[in-house]
Structure formats: C-alpha cells, structure tokens
Structure 1
Amino acid sequence: MPDLDQQLRSQAYEEVEKYKKVVQADPYRLAYHVMPPVGLLNDPNGFIQFKGVYHLFYQWNPFKTEHGAKFWGHYSSKDLVNWEHHDIALAPSDWFDKNGCYSGSAIEHDGTMYLFYTGNVKDENNNRESYQVMVESKDGQHFEKKGVVLRLPKEYTPHFRDPKVWKHGEYFYMVIGAQSKDETGKAVLFRSSNLENWEHLGPIAGAHVGIFEDFGYMWECPDLFDLDGQDVLVFSPQGLEPSGIYYQNLYQAGYVVGKLDYDSVEYKHGEFIELDRGFEFYAPQTTVDDKGRRIMIGWLGLPEEREDAHPTIEHKWIHAMTLPRELKLVDGKVYQLPVEELKELRGEGVKHEAVELGNKAQAFKGVEGDVLEINLETLETITNAMTIHIRNHANLVYNPTDKLFKLDRISYVDGETVEERFCHLHQLKSLRIFIDTSSIEVFINEGEEVFTARIYPDVEEKGISFAAEGTEKVTIEAWELR
C-alpha cells in the first residue's frame, strides 16, 4: 500500500496526464512564461541558483483552478529562459502540512539546498495552525522533509507564514509575514546559528512599528535583501484602501528601502512603493546569482480577485509567473529590467528609425503579432499625448500634461468594461514591451516603472498601432519571440 505522499503525487500526475491535451489546446497558453501543467499556480517559492542551476518552485493545486491544499511544483533553468519541469518537490502529506505546503524560500549552505515553508493545518471548524518546516536536498531534485523548526509565537495569529531565509555574518535570519493579535500586518525577524533552532527577535516593520500607524491586516511573502548598500524589504500587504491612482488592486505588492541594524533589531525605512502598477502582480520573490545580480520573479496573478472569470479555466489551468527581472537601486527607488538573457528569445527583428507619429494611428511592418518584444525610444521630449494600441484590446497612453502613464484593457470578466491603471511619470524616454499570447509586461524608462497584466484579445487580433495628438518622433524596434 503506497504511503500518503506517494498517493498524492500519483493523483497529481494523473491530473496532468488526464488534461494534457485540454491544456495544450488553449490558444491563451503562454509561449515563454512559466505556467502550471494543469490546475492553479500561485506564489513563486524557493527561488535560488544552486550549483549553477536556477530553481523555481511554485504553489500548485493540480486538482482544481481554485485554491486548496498546495503542493510545491518545480522548474529549473540554466539560463532563465528555457525552463524544465520536474517531479513534485513537496506534497501536503504530513501532520504539519496536511492542508497545504504554503510558500517559502531556499538557501544553500555547505553544498546543500535547504527549503523552508509554512505547513498549513486546519481542523473541522476551519481553525488554522501554521508551522515552519525545513527540507533538505543534496542535489536539487530529491527533497527530504526534516520537520518543524518553528512553531507559532504567542504574539501572532495563525496567519503567520512565508519564511524567507538568508545569512548575514555568522547567523542565519528568517523574516515571516504575520498578523498580530490586533489584526494588523507585520514582518517578523528570527535568528539561528544552525538553521534548526530559531530565536524570535520581534517585528521589524508593520503597524505601530516604525513609520506605519496602520498598513493592512496581513503582510504576506516578505523578502529582505541588500541592494546597492541598502536593505530592501519587499512584501505583499493585504487590506490597503485605494489612495488616488494607487492601491487599486485587491491586494498590493511593494517595498520599502532602509537599513536594518542587526544588533539592535531596528529597521529604519522609507515609504511603501508599489513594485508594479498593472493589474496582476503579487508575492514576488528574489534571489542573488553567481553574477551578483538580484533577480526577482512574481506571480502574474492575484489571490481571490475574479479568478473564476479567467478564460483559461475552461482549459483546466490558471495563472503564470512574470519574466525574471534584475533589480537595481536608483536614487532610492527600485528599478526592474528584464534579465539580459531574455534577448535569447529574439528571432527576426525590424527597426523603424526616427518615425513621426501623428493623429492618425500608424502600423509598422514587422511590429505585429501575439508573441513579440517592442522597444520604443523617444528622440525628443514628449509634449503630446501618445498612445500604443495593442491587439484591439489594450492601450498604453502617456499624457505629458498630467504626467500620467496609463495601461487600460478590456475586462476579461464581461468583455466590455475598460479597466485602467496609472502611475505618475515625469517624462517618457523609453518603453520595452513584452507581449505574450495572453499577457503584457511593460518596462518604462529602463525599469523606472513597470506594468504587468493578463490580456485576452481575440486570437486573430495581432495588430499594433501608434499615434500622438501632435507630431512626435520615435524609433521603434520589434522582434518575434520564440
């Protein structure tokens, strides 16, 4: 009789085989993004470069396009471009994770990969317990659960999850997303000398800690790292109210920049800034590679927000990962750029130099399709509103008078409503646009601002046009992507 772990894995593989043809028949299946083989994908987990290979684990429900008892799926890549799917890394088969192997991270120590994740447990009344669990792997392919290394401190509710582990000096540190007993969000720090025994150092950011009086009822997926000499805390707060053009999604993902004093356990930081201004971006996680780059991947989705309306559901899958992005700190702001390796995706390309845009929308030879990259460089300061119309479904608009950049799209819920997201932008200098069959990622001014979204145009709609309310001169390049 196979044990529970083997049973769950076998059932998951059966789902993959059962619906393989249905999934692959979806015209909205992405061409160059990481996706689940079936079912629901959400948070990136355990992102690490280990023995020269990038590993990306992910939250996975193989049985439904809904949230449930999560597995850890597993991809790897040698170049951040070509990804290989592997056997399941973790299954919810133990007393401490029977309702899901929730999100976590990875660290290499003495030639061994260690995973840390939150084991989710619920009783018959839906009361939750959470446990922080350690896993060991010698080769990045076989994983052994070593058991619970941290139980819930009394100061927090069971909404206590998503450990991110790193080493600083002689100690290992873990930051966890938490909810205090007063139902406010926190980032909580722990310390260990051996990865097994963890000392509670307390909250380093959150409501009533530092600058925040109140900032959401739960913080998820914290990630604290050094970037160009500053300590950046990335996290996903839940429960923020919209503020002008910002915080328009159900949940947010963003960061603060500051400096953590590891001795006094005091983190002084600035204001919260959203990482992505688009519709679907959440739970990002970073790693540092052997080139010294800080690389981030996010979930190209959002929890709970109209997930039952995505057109891919009828093909038995939902959600994807963003492209990997290199992070840099520029004047106190985190900039994001697609990693250099993504240029390997480029096929045939075209370049239209110093073209004039005007009131009449123009299409350019070779700048069309549903799987392509577009680079636009402005040759002069933009003084007129400029629009890029994408596949009769979405628009990128810059208004230099209002200093606003906008992404709008036709809602996938009703196919009619136009939805909008904005950011303030002093000047438009360049755009780098990645279009996939059902997604768009827009990098503005070398990563100063980013917009990410799922889009679902008619599959025959492949046209892209450019216009301006007055004369504007730009250079446009485009490449087919494989």
Structure 2
Amino acid sequence: MNALQRDLKKLVPLVESLGKADVEADPYRQQFHLQPPVGWLNDPNGLCVYGGQYHAFFQYGPFDVTGGVKHWGHAVSTDLMHWEPLPVMLYPDEPFDCHGVYSGSALIEGTEMYLYYTGNVKHPGDYDYIKQGRGHNVCLAVSHDGKTVASKQCLLYNKDYPAGLTCHVRDPKVFAYEGKYYMVLGARTLEDKGEVLVLESTDKLHWNHINTLTTPETFGYMWECPDLFCLDGQWYLAVSPQGIACQNVYGCGYFAVYGDWRGECTLGEFHEMDAGFDYYAPQSFVDENGRRIQIGWMGMPDADYGNAPTVAHGWQHCFTVPRLLTKGPGGTLLQTPVPELDARRSAAALTLRNGEEASLSPCFDLTAAPAGDFALTVARGVELVYTEQDSTCVLQFTDPAQASGRTQRRTKLSAPCRSVRVVGDRSSLEIFLNDGAAVFSTRYYPAAGDVAVKISGTDALVYSL
C-alpha cells in the first residue's frame, strides 16, 4: 500500500463521519434507493452478484457534493432494496488513474472479482483535453473477497486504441461469451462521431480490437457507458450518446443489433430509455436467477436544473430502483421495477377513486389501468397528463419549489396507455407506462411529510412502501 492509499483510506471515512449527521437529517433522504453516504454519486459501475449478494459500485465524490475526483463507492444487498454501504473499493491512487477512477464493469469467475474501469489522467499543459492532454486508460483491479483490492494494473493506454480517435475512449463493459472475453468501449472520433469499440481477449488481460459499432450517419459526438447484451435471442446495444437532439442535455437509449456484433452487423432504430429529467448511464447484469436487471443514475450531466435541497445537506443523486428488462413488441425493451419492490408494499391498498385526492406517504406504489385520458397530480406540484387522441404523455412541474429547475418532459407512446405504475420515494418519482414500454424518472422536492395524490379519468390502487 502506497502513502496516498493510506491517506485516502483514512480521509474518506473521516469525511463520511463528519457529514453523517447533516445527511441523515435531510427530509429528502431516500428510503429504498441506493444513495451516497455523503457527497456526489453518479454512474453505476460493476453491477454483479458475488458471494450470494448483489454488489453495486458507483462513481463517488466524497469530498465534493458537485463532483470532484471520482472513486468507486460500494454497497451490497440481498434484496435490491436494502443497501448496506461498504468502504470505498477503488481510489485514484496510481499514476494511471490519478485524476479519477471512472466508470466500468465487473466480471465474476469463481471467487475472483475483476473490476475493469477507466483511469482518468489529465496531463499538465495547455490542452483541450479532448484531442490532447488526457489519458483514458483501461485498468483492471482484482479482488479475492469482493471487499478489498489485491492488485491494480493498466491494460490499455490511448496509444493502444485504433487510429482516428480523440482521447475520449472510456467505460469498459466486459463479459464472457462463447469461450472468449469481450469488451465494449465508448469512443469519440476526431470527426466528432460517437461509436463503440469491440475488443476480444482469451485471458482477460490482452485485448484486440475486432469491430466498431456505429450508425451510418453521425448520431452524437460521443457514446458513453456502452452495454452490449442478449435478451431472448436478441442482442442490444445500450449507450448514452452526447450531442444528439433530445429533451435532455444528453441522450440515453438502445439499439437492437442485427447480425453478428463481432463482424458484419447493423444497428436498428434508436429507442429512448427514459423520457424523464433524471436518467443516464444505465448498466445491466444477469443475476443468479437469469434475470437481466438494469440500474441507472437518477441524474443528468450538465443539466440546467439540480438538487439544491439535498446539496444543502451535503449529498447529491441516487440510483433508480433496479429494473427488470424484458423483450417487448418489435424487439423493443420493457422496464419494470424488480418484483422485490412488491415485498415493501403495505398489506392493504387504498383505492383512489376518479377525481379524489388522498394524503399519502411519500413512499408509495400506485397502479392504474386507464381507458382514455387521465391526469395524476402528486404533492399538488407535479402533473402527469395523458391524451388519448395522440397517445402523448406529459410530465410537468407546476410548483417551482418542488422542481429545483425542472420544467416539462413528454413522450409519445406506440400504443394507447393502458397501464400506469408510479413508484414514489421521498424525493423521486419513477413512472412506468404500458408495462414499462415508456418511463419517466425524476427527482422532486415536496414539503416534508405526507403528499397529496389525486387522479382523474380512472381509479387507482395505492400501496404505502
């Protein structure tokens, strides 16, 4: 252990202990979403099952509530709802990752946990840090117990990537398939075109570039956080593209992949993953029951809205509720909360009649089966309005105090809306339409205590969580 490692391992717990009381006093602290002990959280990393537990790592800035130098925070769970925080797993403590341990993934083989990540290095000088001056290195940390790191090394430097790329090559997702190992990396070309590199290995250490996945025409300048996976025989590429025309600053969605992604293939239509204000950089994994589970960051980089109420208490951001991915019509993806959420429901449901308003716990699970236009209002400041004529659903804030800068988002459904599920926590709403064919995720900040919920155009069942 070097001197920097020793210092950081003392300093991070000290900062967490000093900020604990202020964070825990926050009325907007979530009840069943993974959130940082203090400071900043963003991208989910290294999602996996190891030793009979779910492990979730996350981009973590313990010293700066607005970001700062990134570590990998760590939490474990047995039910995807109750998360136990563990000590930081990866620190920016080597020359190849000294300016941040950026996003990546986990590969589990027996008792070994292999954590692949991007080591961020910003060289001193007059650089733009896009085409010059930045190192985005593929690094590997190995753990024998799922809690501590036994070794770290750098596997690939920028010079090892294909020609024609900027310094921005990052976020390795690694998986085993047909006797070999594969890695996908998000990339930005010198012509500002986003793409995903596919690399192959036989030993997890030495990697060869074998293919590049992209669209014929430029679709954004950078594809972040790639996730390549198969579901019911169909391969999908999920990416977070920067520089596309969308409602948010950056996009987030997926392509169906047709053909062999190791060679000749094409990408299908791009589908938005979540139409809400706060959703980015999702990653998925397969659990011991064969379910593909996805978790996203309930945030958005560089947005003109924020989370001032939690920042005032020394923390910011959380993950979404873990979502079960299933294959939908026409090769689309459906997202629904994992069934483990149902176990948190109250024994009895409240029936909320058409036109009625009820005072509910901010932690609730609402379901409805509309047959036409409907409107749902939460805390008298957030509205969900569906119009049958054009199958359009709008999420809008009517109370600026709850919005923290958020305004309106909309989505057009591919079929009339016949199912609605709203999962509320103390400072978030996740709305699933048509069994997860469309989703809105947002943070919000109602007055402390119970929230008023009103529905018009249909009845609803509401459980406390």
TM normalised by structure 2 equals 0.93
Q: Does 1:197 align with 2:195?
A: no
Residue 334 of structure 1 and its aligned partner are, at CA, apart by 0.3
1:287-307 per-position Cα deviation (integer Å, ceiling 9, x unaligned): 001111110000000112136
1:477 to 450, 461, 465: 461
The equivalent residue for 2:255 is: 256
Aligned equivalents of 1:140, 1:401: Cα separation in 2: 52
User: 1:391 — aligned with what?
Assistant: 379
| SS of corresponding position for 2:269 | coil
Q: Which moved more, 1:76-85 or 1:149-158?
A: 149-158
Deviates more, 1:36-45 or 1:124-133: 124-133
Which one-letter code corresponds to 1:19 in the other structure? G
> What is the 5 A alignment of 1:174-185?
174-185=183-194
Contact 1:411 1:418 in 2 (8 A): no
Sort the Cα spacing of 1:412 and 1:237 in 2 relative to 1 into closer, same or farther, 3 A: farther
Aligned positions of 1:51-62 closer than 5 A = 51-62=51-62
User: Structure 2: which 5+ runs fail to align?
Assistant: 128-132
- 1:294 alignment counterpart: 292
Structure 1 CA distance for aligned equivalents of residues 17 and 29 of structure 2: 17
- Please, which moves more after superposition, 97-106 or 459-468? 459-468
Residue 463 of structure 2 aligns with an amino acid whose one-letter code is: W
Percent of matched pairs sharing the same residue: 37
Contact 1:184 1:216 in 2 (8 A): yes
1:371 aligns with 2:371: no
CA-to-partner distance for each residue in 1:454-473, whole Å, 9 max, x for gaps?
Answer: 011222461111123xxxx5
How far residue 259 of structure 1 moved from its aligned partner, in angstroms, is 3.1
The corresponding residue for 1:88 is 88
Paired residue for 2:230, among 222, 226, 229?
226
Letter in 2 for 1:102: Y
SS, match of residue 5 in structure 1: helix
Structure 1 unmatched ranges of 5 or more: 206-210, 242-246
Alignment equivalent of 2:174, drawn from 147, 156, 165: 165
Summarize the alignment of residues 259-270 of structure 1 with structure 2, pairs less than 5 Å apart. Answer: 259-261=258-260, 265-270=263-268
**Cα drift, residue 415 of structure 1:** 5.7
Matching residue's letter, 2:386: Y
Give the Cα separation in 2 of the matches to 1:181 and 1:415.
38
Superposed, which structure 2 residues align to 1:343-358 within 5 Å?
343-352=342-351, 355=353, 357=354
2:14 is the counterpart of 1:14: yes
Q: What is the match of residue 119 of structure 1? A: 119
For the 8 Å contact 2:181–2:203, the answer to whether it is kept is yes
Of residues 188, 213, 218 in structure 1, which corresponds to 2:217? 213
Q: Following the alignment from structure 1 to structure 2, what is the Cα–Cα distance between the partners of residues 55 and 31?
A: 18
For the structure 1 residues 311 and 416, does the alpha-carbon distance in structure 2 shift closer, same or farther, using more than 3 Å as the test? closer
In 1, are the aligned partners of 2:105 and 2:174 still within 8 Å (CA)?
Answer: yes
One-letter identity of the residue aligned with 1:133: C
CA gap 1:403/1:307 in 2 versus in 1, 3 angstroms: closer
1:131 to 115, 127, 137: 137
Q: Which amino acid aligns with 2:411?
A: C
Q: Is the 8 A contact 1:159 1:178 kept in 2?
A: yes
Q: How do residues 271-420 of structure 1 correspond to structure 2 at under 5 angstroms?
A: 271-306=269-304, 310-331=308-329, 332-352=331-351, 355=353, 357=354, 361-364=355-358, 368-378=360-370, 381-382=371-372, 385-410=373-398, 419-420=407-408
Residue 109 of structure 2 is matched in structure 1 by 109
Is it true that 1:64 corresponds to 2:64 in the alignment? yes
In 2, distance between residues paired with 1:433 and 1:262?
36
Which residue in 1 is equivalent to 2:429? 440
Normalized against structure 1, the TM-score is what? 0.90
1:411 shift after superposition: 7.0
Within 2, Cα distance between the matches of 1:142 and 1:412? 44
**Cα distance change on mapping 1:431 and 1:202 into 2, 3 Å:** same
State which drifts further: 248-257 or 9-18.
9-18
User: Which range is displaced more, 402-411 or 85-94?
Assistant: 402-411
Q: Deviation at 1:250?
A: 0.4
DSSP 3-state at the match of 1:349:
coil
In the TM superposition, residue 58 of structure 1 has moved relative to its aligned partner by 0.2
Counterpart position of 1:186 = 195
Secondary structure in structure 2 of the residue aligned to 1:65: coil
Q: CA deviation at 1:240?
A: 0.9
Shift of 1:392: 1.3
Secondary structure, counterpart of 1:342 in structure 2? helix
Structure 1 residue identity aligned to 2:153:
G
Counterpart code for 1:140: G
Does the C-alpha gap of structure 1 residues 199 and 2 become closer, same or farther in structure 2, counting only changes over 3 Å? closer
Describe the SS at the equivalent of 1:86.
strand
Letter in 2 for 1:407: L
Given that residues 74 and 89 in structure 1 are in contact (C-alpha distance below 8 angstroms), is that contact kept between their aligned partners in structure 2?
Answer: yes
- Whether contact under 8 Å (2:404, 2:444) holds in the other structure is no
SS in 1 for 2:191: coil
Q: Which deviates the most, 218-227 or 12-21?
A: 12-21
- Any conservation in 2 of the 1:310–1:412 contact (CA below 8 Å)? no
CA 1:203–1:75: 2 relative to 1, 3 Å: same
Q: 2:404 & 2:74 partners in 1: Cα distance?
A: 37
> Do 2:143 and 2:151's aligned partners in 1 also have CA atoms closer than 8 Å?
no
User: Which residue of the partner structure matches residue 208 of structure 1?
Assistant: none
Q: Could you tell me how far apart the structure 2 residues matched to 1:412 and 1:116 are? A: 41
Equivalent residue number for residue 26 of structure 1: 26
Task: After TM superposition, give the deviation of residue 229 of structure 1 in Å.
Answer: 0.5
1:455 to 444, 450, 454: 444
Counterpart-to-counterpart distance in 2, 1:405 and 1:43: 27
**1:281-323 Cα deviation digits (max 9, x unpaired):** 0000000011111100000001121366532111110000000
User: 1:122 Cα deviation (Å)?
Assistant: 0.6
Which shifted more, 405-414 or 143-152? 405-414
Q: Deviations over 1:164-201 (max 9, x none)?
A: 00111121000000111212111111000000000011
CA contact (8 A) 2:113 2:146 kept: yes
Q: CA RMSD in A?
A: 1.9
SS at match of 2:89: coil
1:422 matched to 2:410: yes
Shift of 1:202: 3.3
Q: Is the 8 A contact 2:232 2:327 kept in 1?
A: yes
Q: Which amino acid aligns with 2:319?
A: M
2:154 corresponds in structure 1 to: 148
Distance 1:3 1:38, change over 3 A: same
CA distance in 2, matches of 1:418, 1:114: 39
